[in-house]
Chains A and B, each alone.
Chain A
């Protein structure tokens, strides 16, 4: 299948910045993949995200979304409909005072017919499990709920790609579970391609593919098992590994032979149990 996102040799430098934020990044993402993007602050993750729906335009190189070049002005709205963006601070992306009005915002901007807006707003709210809160005021919701409203707000446009820039950074564990669970479900059930930028390794473990960024480059790219197996390299990039990986590393160093692919606590426990018996 053709990639839904194709990036070729993308370079971008912010005005007044000493060095490039993205330095020759190339990347293909197949439709329906759940991709986690990790990297320390300033590694270029957000800059990459902003190129995917033409908020930033490449200074050199190319970004193609479903074959459309982001530099092409005529494709701007179709690209924005295709690639929904969710940001870190849930408070700063909700426009309206009522949940359902906020979810309707994008469709109203696109001039969709009122009855159709209603239908798609209700559907989007149901998909993120916020339908019962449709008449609530956003500022009274929890962080996780607000973030799910923000997801519904872009979901209503019917995107094929969801790009989430540290959506869980400001949330508590319950909120994080809600958001990541929702995103994962949208990917698995609706086939939506997901790019999740995060600092939390336990979230990355659930992805199909993990990208590690450093100084504007993609330095590792593979399945979570492949990437986290390179624990020492990750630490050298000031990143941590999931606790499960750290544990298996320790046990293997002491002579056990456990698979590094056991990344979730459940898989890890099962592997240890098997090795012990």
Chain B
């Protein structure tokens, strides 16, 4: 069922990680991704894994939840592994059978690529697990606010994102509901050729679109009733503050990058 998807889910909590300013977490996530691409040594990977484990522990996120988040990506992970494992050229052959050849370099590269994808994804998940989507949007809006001067409608864009986020669960539920209703009339969404299946989706997609438009209409009306008038002259209830915790987080982020670079220099 669609309800089981946890991709991008937020786990509310009150840990030092949850309490960080969303801007800090956004910047650090970017730093983390950049750092991950700087890793060239096994020692570097161990350092990143250790850092991620530490954050997971402090944020009270269950490791199982982190792994579960990877589940939808299993195809990409396996694909990456297979690609690197079998299609890396090299002389240090470990195993050969007819045209299939596994080299030492290939194995190493497969492992490191898989690690990299998994760490990349779980790292970004840490952001969405510990930061409410609203806080993320809020942080983004404020980080991007200099663009306002270039006439980019940053507030409108962030409101659009907020509303999209707000309605994802509602629309998922709705999809579930319509799917059940059509299946109850014998709709078969799972078998048949590709064009057949695409056609079988119409009974799902048409009602979904109609309903989304109706919702958008009603929401616009409700917003108008609550004096919505664009981003001009708006204030915000929640002001973001960076505190010493954020400074400390930046410090730890810098340490991570430094550690990776040192390990890389040392070749560990």
Q: Is A in direct contact with B (CB under 8 Å) within the complex? A: yes
Query: In the complex, are the beta carbons of A114 and B239 less than 8 A apart?
Result: yes
Asked if A104 CB lies within 8 Å of chain B CBs, one says: yes
Residues of B within 8 A of A106 (CB): 226-227
* A106-147 interface code vs B (CB 8 A; 1 in, 0 out): 111111111001100100000000000001011100000000
Provided the pairs A87-B218, A93-B222 are in contact, do residues A117 and B233 lie with their beta carbons within 8 angstroms? Answer: no
Q: Which of B162, B165, B224, B237 contacts A104 (CB 8 A)?
A: B237
Q: Are A95 and B227 in contact (CB under 8 A)?
A: no
User: CB-defined interface of A171-214 with B at 8 Å, one 1/0 digit per residue?
Assistant: 00000000000000000000000000000000000000000000
From B163, B223, B228, B234, give the contact of A111 (CB < 8 A).
B234
Is there an interface contact between A81 and B227, defined as CB atoms closer than 8 Å? yes
Least distance between A154 CB and chain B CB atoms (Å): 7
Which residues of the other chain, A, contact B227 by a CB distance below 8 angstroms? 77, 80-81, 106, 109-110, 157
**Which bucket holds chain A's interface residue count?**
35 or more
Contact of A87 among B163, B221, B228, B229 (CB under 8 A): B221
Q: Does chain A have a CB within 8 A of B169?
A: yes
Does B5 touch A at the CB level, under 8 Å? no
Chain A residues numbered 59-93 whose CB sits less than 8 Å from any CB in chain B = 77, 80-81, 84-85, 87, 89, 91-93
A121 to B236, CA, bound (A): 12
Contact in complex: A109, B219 (CB < 8 Å): no
Any A CB within 8 A of the CB of B112: no
Complex alpha-carbon distance, A98 and B173, angstroms: 18
Query: Which residue of B12, B170, B234, B239 is within 8 Å of A135 (Cβ)?
Result: B12
| Complex CA–CA separation, A85 to B173 (angstroms) | 26
Q: Which residues of B contact A87 (CB under 8 A)?
A: 218, 221-222
Question: Given the interface contacts A93-B219, A96-B162, A98-B132, does A153 sit within 8 Å of B226 by beta carbon?
Answer: yes
Residue among B12, B166, B234, B237 facing the most chain A CB atoms (10 A cut-off): B237
Q: Does B198 contact A (CB under 8 A)?
A: no
Is A53 in contact with chain B by the CB < 8 A criterion?
Answer: yes
Q: Is the CB of A97 within 8 A of B236?
A: no
The reply to whether the CB of B118 lies closer than 8 angstroms to some CB of chain A is no
Contact indicator A95/B162 (Cβ below 8 Å): yes
Structural contact, A111 and B219, CB atoms closer than 8 A: no
Pairwise interchain contact B236-A114, C-beta atoms closer than 8 A: yes
Considering residues B162, B227, B238, which has the most beta carbons from chain A within 10 angstroms of its beta carbon?
A: B227
| Cβ A85 vs Cβ B225 within 8 A | yes
Are B238 and A95 in contact, with the CB atoms below 8 A?
no
- Residues of chain A within 8 A (CB-CB) of B166 are 94-97, 138-139
Measured CB to CB, the closest approach of chain A to B130, in angstroms, equals 14
B197 within 8 A of A: no
B134 within 8 A of A: yes
Chain A residues lying within 8 Å of B193, measured Cβ to Cβ, are none
For residue A149, give the distance in angstroms from its CB to the closest CB of chain B: 12
Asked whether, in the complex, the Cβ of B226 is within 8 Å of the Cβ of A139, the reply is: no
| CB of B176 to closest CB in A, whole Å | 13
Residues from chain A with Cβ under 8 Å of B165 in the complex = 97
Q: Does A55 contact B (CB under 8 A)?
A: yes
Which residues of chain B are near A138, meaning CB under 8 Å?
A: 166
* Chain A 150-162 interface mask (CB, 8 Å, partner B; 1/0): 1001100100000
B191 within 8 A of A: no
Contact indicator per residue, chain B 239-262, by CB within 8 Å of chain A (1) or not (0): 100000000000000000000000
CB distance from A235 to the nearest CB of B (A): 32
Task: A96 to B159: give the CA distance in the assembly, Å.
Answer: 9
Known contacts A104-B237, A111-B234, A121-B237, A98 near B226 by CB under 8 Å: no
- Would B219 and A95 count as touching, CB distance under 8 A? yes
A114 near B170 with CB under 8 A, answer no
Contact of B225 among A80, A96, A100 (CB under 8 A): A80
Taking a contact as CB atoms under 8 Å apart, the answer to whether A109 and B134 are in contact is no
> Contacting A95 at CB < 8 Å: which of B169, B223, B235?
B223
The residue among A118, A137, A138, A150 with the most chain B CB atoms within 10 A of its own CB is A137
Nearest-CB residue, chain A, relative to B173 = A139
Q: Is A221 an interface residue (CB 8 A)?
A: no
Establish whether residues B239 and A105, one from each chain, have CB atoms under 8 Å apart when the complex forms. no
Give the Cβ gap from A266 to chain B, nearest Cβ, in Å.
Answer: 36
> How many Å from the CB of B137 to the closest CB on chain A?
9
24 residue pairs bridging A and B, Cβ less than 8 Å apart: A55-B221, A80-B225, A80-B226, A84-B225, A87-B221, A89-B215, A92-B222, A94-B166, A95-B163, A95-B222, A95-B223, A96-B162, A96-B166, A97-B162, A97-B166, A107-B237, A108-B236, A109-B228, A109-B229, A111-B235, A114-B238, A135-B12, A150-B222, A154-B225
| Apart from A108-B234, A108-B235, 13 more pairs, CB < 8 Å | A85-B222, A87-B218, A87-B221, A89-B215, A89-B218, A92-B214, A94-B166, A95-B166, A95-B219, A101-B134, A101-B238, A114-B238, A118-B237
The 5 lowest CB-CB distance pairs between A and B, nearest first, are A93-B222, A106-B226, A92-B218, A104-B237, A117-B237
> Which of B's residues lie within 8 Å of A, judged by CB?
12, 132-134, 162-163, 165-166, 169-170, 173, 214-215, 218-219, 221-229, 233-239
